């Protein structure tokens, strides 16, 4: 665990330290100019958000149907990271939109569905914190519901008329933009692995502490 943590930490620091140089040297987009550079962190964070929501949903399903407490610990960690990544996406997006669209927010399919998904995972966290005994099973169902929203959020731009760019943007990226973008995605995935292992370790230690308290009471 400590060795994996150290390796991930070094890789993450290296990648996040180098990413700004790649982003600065990436070419300006013809119509949006400088503000388009938000793309490199915004989309990378959004893809990691989708991954995290899936991890939370699948772990919750394993906990709910397989009764494995370790899966619940992973789900708690993933749900919390989903909320943090969602915050990054939901703040960086409007900052980009203000310049590109002239407004901070549009109640279109992509933005609204992302906000709803983020609120679902917020409710998971609140349920875990204030739900009392047995809330872990109820919150697991909430996480499955949150993960089920991911395909809707992803394809919303293709299914409905929105101001948000479609999913076609990333596959057709110019090679000079694709390199820095893929690097940022990898950096975010690496950060996600680091955060997930550390946060899960925290949950495991918390479970050990609870077991010790129970032993103390007996």
CB of 103 to another protein, least distance (A): 9
- Which of 68, 129, 137, 205: binder of another protein (CB under 8 A)? 205
DSSP state letters, the chain: -HHHHHHHHHHHHHHHHHHHHHHHHSPPBTTTBGGGGGHHHHHHHHHHHHHHHHHHHHHHHHHHHH--HHHHHHHHHHHHHHHHHHHHHHHHHHHHHHHHTSSS----HHHHHHHHHHHHHHHHHHHHHHS-TTHHHHHHHHHHHHHHTHHHHHHHHHHS--SS--TTTTTT--HHHHHHHHHHHHHHHHHHHHHHHHHHHHHHHHHHHHHHHHHHH-
- Pick between residue 182 and residue 201 the one whose CB is nearest to another protein: 201
Per rule CB under 8 A, is residue 208 in the interface with another protein? yes
CB of 162 to another protein, least distance (A): 19
Per rule CB under 8 A, is residue 92 in the interface with another protein? yes
CB of 80 to another protein, least distance (A): 8
- Pick between residue 24 and residue 66 the one whose CB is nearest to another protein: 24
Stretch that binds another protein, among 57-65, 117-125, 165-173, 194-202 (CB under 8 A): 194-202
- Pick between residue 174 and residue 208 the one whose CB is nearest to another protein: 208
Binding site for another protein (CB under 8 A): 20, 33-35, 37-38, 41-42, 45, 81, 84, 87-88, 91-92, 95-96, 98-99, 101-102, 191, 195, 198-199, 201-202, 205-206, 208-209, 212-213, 215-216
């Amino acid at each position: 665990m400590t060795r994996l943590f150290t390796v991930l930490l070094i890789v993450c620091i290296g990648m996040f330290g180098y990413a700004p140089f790649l982003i600065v040297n990436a070419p300006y987009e013809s119509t949006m100019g400088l503000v388009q550079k938000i793309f490199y962190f915004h989309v990378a964070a959004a893809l990691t958000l989708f991954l995290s929501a899936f991890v939370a949903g699948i772990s919750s399903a394993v906990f709910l149907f397989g009764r494995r407490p370790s899966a619940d610990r992973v789900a708690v960690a993933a749900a919390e990271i989903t909320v943090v990544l969602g915050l990054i996406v939901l703040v960086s997006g409007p900052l980009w939109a203000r310049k590109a669209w002239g407004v901070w927010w549009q109640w279109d399919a992509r933005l609204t569905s992302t906000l709803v998904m983020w609120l679902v995972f917020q409710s998971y966290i609140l349920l875990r914190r204030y739900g009392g005994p047995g809330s872990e099973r109820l919150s697991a169902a909430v996480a499955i519901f949150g993960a089920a929203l991911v395909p809707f959020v992803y394809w919303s731009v293709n299914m409905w008329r929105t101001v948000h760019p479609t999913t076609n943007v990333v596959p057709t990226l110019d090679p000079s933009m694709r390199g820095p973008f893929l690097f940022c995605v990898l950096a975010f995935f690496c950060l996600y692995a680091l955060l997930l292992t550390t946060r899960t370790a925290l949950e495991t230690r918390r479970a050990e502490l609870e077991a010790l308290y129970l032993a103390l009471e007996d």
